[in-house]
Amino acid sequence: MRIEGDGVIVNLQREKEKRGEVARIVSYRGKKEVSRNRYEVVSTMKGWQEAWEESYVRNGERVDLEKVGAIYISGGGAEQVKEG
């Protein structure tokens, strides 16, 4: 199983802060499409901890995680990705 995580900086409107980070996580085994050219992505602005928890839940619904031989996590080098 491969998991890729990265943060995307977005401009916020009508907020005190001008910018926010969207935590994005993509998980896949092979390159199975959900539909044509579409893959499941977990995106949230609630923070990395919640993004990782949601990703774990969604993966657990599709795959028996105890039977996965190896999980490879990659990302842009941020601590939040390394903690996943």
The β-bridge partners of 17 are none
Picking from 66, 67, 63, 56, the residue whose alpha carbon sits closest to that of residue 3 is 56
| pLDDT computed for residue 30 by the predictor | 61
pLDDT value of position 84: 61
Q: Structure pTM? A: 0.61
Strands (E), 1-84: 2-11, 19-28, 41-44, 72-75
pLDDT tens digits, 6-20: 888 899 898 888 998
Q: Where are the domains of the chain?
A: 2-82
